[in-house]
Amino acid sequence: NDYGGTHTTSMAAAYHLKKLPTNRTLTKDEILNIDYFNKLTHSDMGKIIFHGVDTEGNPVYTIGRKSSKLVVP
């Protein structure tokens, strides 16, 4: 989780799910094409976003909460 849920968390989820190369610096286009990167809106805050299942079968989710501790069901 983080403040906005659209930048750092989206990138972390993509790395965790092995959707991004780890042996070099990403290009601008690769970053901008990450699922949900810079695409969430204020109405998405507090919502749990599913990104996929990792190599061990664990679901990967992110959430942007702004300064709230609440989660929208």
Per-residue model confidence as pLDDT tens digits over 11-55? 999 999 999 999 999 999 999 999 999 999 989 988 999 999 999
Q: Which two tokens stand for residue 38?
A: 């810079």
pLDDT higher at 32 or 71: 32
Which pTM does this prediction carry?
Answer: 0.86
pLDDT at 73: 64
Q: Is 31 exposed, middle or buried (0-12, 13-18, 19+ CB in 10 A)?
A: middle
- The full set of domain ranges for the chain reads 8-62
Give alpha helix (H) positions in the chain: 8-16, 28-32
